[in-house]
Amino acid sequence: MKEMWSSIASVMGVIAFCQTLLHTVFPPELRFAFLKLFSRIFLSVSSYCYFDITEIDGVNTNELYNAVQLYLSSSASISGSRLSLTRALNSSAITFGLSNNDVIVDTYNGVPLLWEHVVSQRHSQSFSWRPLPEEKRGFTLRIRKKDKPLVLDSYLDYIIETAADIRRKNQDRLLYTNSRGGSLDGRGHPWESVPFKHPSTFDTLAMDPDKKDEIMNDLRDFSSGQSFYQKTGRAWKRGYLLYGPPGTGKSSMIAAMANFLRYDIYDLELTEVHTNSELRKLLMKTSSKSIIVIEDIDCSINLTNRNNNAAAKSKTSSQKTKHLYDPADMGGVGSGLMEEASNNTITLSGLLNFTDGLWSCCGSERIFVFTTNHIEKLDPALLRSGRMDMHIFMSYCSFQSLKILLKNYLDYDEDDVARPVWEELERVVVKARMTPADVSEHLIKHRRDKAKAVRELIDVMRLKAERNNAAGEGNGAMEEEQEKRALDAEEDDDSGDESLHQDENGLLIHDNPRMEIHNQKKIKM
């Protein structure tokens, strides 16, 4: 036993002597050059190539590292054996990641790609204004050389896009409002935010299913239409006008749109904005993939229809100077509008530039939503295509809407209600002219006794229908006339007998041959 230990000690002594001799004969520079040469020879004969993605590039964070880490989280949660769990700020989901020096295989277009999460200790660093972490982290991607063009052309772009979608899906959505009086928060931002937790979805929205599908398809086309908007030379934005009586679900529609697209909401309070310049700065501070909302725009500031204002002015004064040029006639945004002075100096031209001017395209993938209870009060310049592309009429409760409300509040399907009851509900619901909010409140109040809730709802609708018949209220094409009045362009003083008619192609046309107004795409609920 003693002889064995003596032999081991002798061998270790020889190894130490050889190591000292090696360091003396071959200095570090020579050894480094030799290792570099060996690495080049190995790579030249190897069928693989390697890409290193470090966590920190110089002193800045490498965004590609964060994207790869987030992208691999979906694969790691399924095939990984040892995972690291993280939860980011303002995130509602836990992210799975590779542990230190772990390996995972990804597949893209049938090509296997091996990722390794490399973690090593950082050497002692010199003085730096920004201290670096003690560990040096990075990802190494190994692929076959013949697949190198695939990685450089599309795979990395695919990783970045997928990571952005995962980040947006995991992150809580926010509801923003502009600060009071245009003041800035502690970070110098003019918007204040709270988590957006509204539960409204298109499944729970009381609306005709066909119309909901049409809106959802339009939203899908918009969110996936980046290449289309670039090809056609249009700013990547879209406008929706929600109009109708109070209580018909306009705010719920906005929340359903945000939850469907997973966009943030910017609720713009115009009464807190004092100048057009301030309005433009608020737009510049909004993020992409967001919905900018102005609710009750007809009540926010004095931006009502100039046709009505001009008629009122002509009765009180005959010395008013007539404007030589009006952008509403030209269909443009214009800058020469001379609105009445008021406490709030936001002008109509400022709002038009906000929605459709050059500054409206400073971001991408934005949706503008205006709501109003009285569309006929709005100026036609606000309603044309390019600003409000889709007009959505939020009507009184229909039979299809009533079915959805009964499912939401009473968990009633068609088989749970007798056929005569359904027939009676279908007969009285249109004549009752009740809003979804009124019906919902009645169902909430009596939801403990479902049968009683349906019986009393029928009684209430009958009573409402009788009152409406006694008052002589029609239920015909009210929304048609309302929107036609709103879309009428300003007429000259000598064109009082012009009329609006519809041709065989569905266009609304003035008898005046100088003007043609296209009927915009609209939805009646």
Tokens of 439: 């019906």
Q: Is residue 488 part of a domain?
A: no
What integer pLDDT is reported at residue 515 of this predicted model?
A: 35
pLDDT mean across residues, the chain: 77
Q: Is residue 1 part of a domain?
A: no
Pair type for strands 366-372 and 237-243: parallel
Beta strands in 222-359 (DSSP E): 237-243, 264-267, 290-294
What integer pLDDT is reported at residue 483 of this predicted model?
A: 54
Measured distance CA(18)–CA(26) in Å, rounded: 12
Return the DSSP state at 506.
Answer: S
Least confident of 229-233, 283-287, 519-523: 519-523
Whether residues 165 and 210 fall in one domain: no
> Does position 442 have pLDDT exceeding 70, yes or no?
yes
Q: Is residue 312 part of a domain?
A: no
Whether residues 70 and 160 fall in one domain: yes
Percent of the chain with pLDDT over 90: 25
Q: Is residue 467 part of a domain?
A: yes
Residues 6+ apart with CB under 8 A from 129: none
Least confident of 9-13, 292-296, 371-375, 471-475: 471-475
| 215-246 residues labelled b (16+ CB within 10 A) or e (exposed) | beebbeebbebeeebeeeeebbbbbbbbbbbe
Cβ burial, residue 65 (10 Å; 0-12/13-18/19+): middle
- The residue ranking higher by pLDDT, 322 or 123, is 123
Whether residues 242 and 369 fall in one domain: yes
Whether residues 458 and 385 fall in one domain: no
Cβ burial, residue 79 (10 Å; 0-12/13-18/19+): exposed
Residue with tokens 């008898």, as numbered in its chain: 511
- The residue ranking higher by pLDDT, 71 or 75, is 71
Whether residues 54 and 201 fall in one domain: no
Summarize pLDDT for 366-385 with one digit per residue, the tens. Answer: 999 999 998 888 888 888 88
Summarize pLDDT for 256-296 with one digit per residue, the tens. Answer: 999 999 999 999 998 888 888 888 888 888 888 899 999 99
> Does position 437 have pLDDT exceeding 90, yes or no?
yes
> Does position 460 have pLDDT exceeding 50, yes or no?
yes
Helices within 274-347 (DSSP H only) = 276-284, 297-300, 306-316, 327-330
Among residues 363, 393, 423, which one ends one of the domains? 393
Q: Is residue 406 part of a domain?
A: yes
Percent of the chain with pLDDT over 70: 71
Q: Among 273, 314, 309, which residue's Cα sits nearest to residue 294?
A: 273
Q: Is residue 235 part of a domain?
A: yes
pLDDT tier, 440 (very low <50, low <70, confident <90, very high otherwise): very high
Least confident of 60-64, 68-72, 98-102, 260-264: 98-102
pLDDT tier, 319 (very low <50, low <70, confident <90, very high otherwise): very low
What integer pLDDT is reported at residue 501 of this predicted model?
A: 47
**Mean pLDDT, rounded, for 209-221:** 94
**Mean pLDDT, rounded, for 11-15:** 82
Q: Is residue 453 part of a domain?
A: yes
- Please count the structural domains in the chain: 3
Whether residues 61 and 182 fall in one domain: no
**Mean pLDDT, rounded, for 139-163:** 87
pLDDT tier, 147 (very low <50, low <70, confident <90, very high otherwise): confident
Whether residues 142 and 271 fall in one domain: no
Among residues 358, 375, 393, which one ends one of the domains? 393
- The residue ranking higher by pLDDT, 247 or 6, is 247
Whether residues 80 and 140 fall in one domain: yes
Cβ burial, residue 303 (10 Å; 0-12/13-18/19+): buried
Tokens of 154: 């599309």
Whether residues 74 and 158 fall in one domain: yes
Instruction: Specify the pTM.
Output: 0.69
Whether residues 426 and 389 fall in one domain: no
Least confident of 52-66, 75-89, 284-298, 500-514: 500-514
Residues 6+ apart with CB under 8 A from 112: 105, 106
**Mean pLDDT, rounded, for 121-148:** 74
What integer pLDDT is reported at residue 345 of this predicted model?
A: 74
What integer pLDDT is reported at residue 398 of this predicted model?
A: 92
What integer pLDDT is reported at residue 330 of this predicted model?
A: 39
- The residue ranking higher by pLDDT, 407 or 189, is 407
Whether residues 254 and 268 fall in one domain: yes
Pair type for strands 48-54 and 508-510: unpaired
> Does position 364 have pLDDT exceeding 50, yes or no?
yes
Least confident of 9-23, 248-262, 295-309, 440-454: 295-309
What is the CATH number for 376?
Answer: 3.40.50.300
pLDDT tier, 188 (very low <50, low <70, confident <90, very high otherwise): low
**Helices 209-223, 250-261: crossing angle, 10 deg rounding:** 40
Measured distance CA(111)–CA(151) in Å, rounded: 10
- The residue ranking higher by pLDDT, 310 or 466, is 466
Q: Which of the residue ranges 79-93, 207-221, 462-476 has the most confident prediction, judged by mean pLDDT?
A: 207-221
DSSP 63-93: HHHHHHHHHHHHHHHHH-SSEEEE--TTBSS
> Does position 502 have pLDDT exceeding 50, yes or no?
no
Tokens of 224: 């996936």
Q: Is residue 7 part of a domain?
A: no
Whether residues 101 and 183 fall in one domain: no
Residue-range definition of the domain harbouring residue 414: 399-472
Beta bridge partners of residue 98, listed in sequence order:
83
> Does position 403 have pLDDT exceeding 70, yes or no?
yes
Measured distance CA(476)–CA(482) in Å, rounded: 12
pLDDT tier, 255 (very low <50, low <70, confident <90, very high otherwise): very high
Least confident of 77-86, 155-164, 367-376: 77-86
Residues 6+ apart with CB under 8 A from 134: 121, 122
Q: How far apart are the first and last CA of the chain?
A: 96
93 in Cβ contact with 87 (< 8 Å): yes
What integer pLDDT is reported at residue 95 of this predicted model?
A: 66
What integer pLDDT is reported at residue 352 of this predicted model?
A: 83
Tokens of 387: 């600003």
> Does position 355 have pLDDT exceeding 70, yes or no?
yes
What integer pLDDT is reported at residue 88 of this predicted model?
A: 64
Least confident of 84-93, 162-171, 208-217, 456-465: 84-93
* Distances in whole angstroms, Cα of residue 33 to Cα of each of 27, 41, 123: 10, 12, 20
- Could you tell me the maximum CA-CA distance found in the chain, to the nearest angstrom? 125
- The residue ranking higher by pLDDT, 59 or 513, is 59
Sign for the CA dihedral angle at 414, 418, 420, 425 comes to: negative
pLDDT tier, 363 (very low <50, low <70, confident <90, very high otherwise): confident
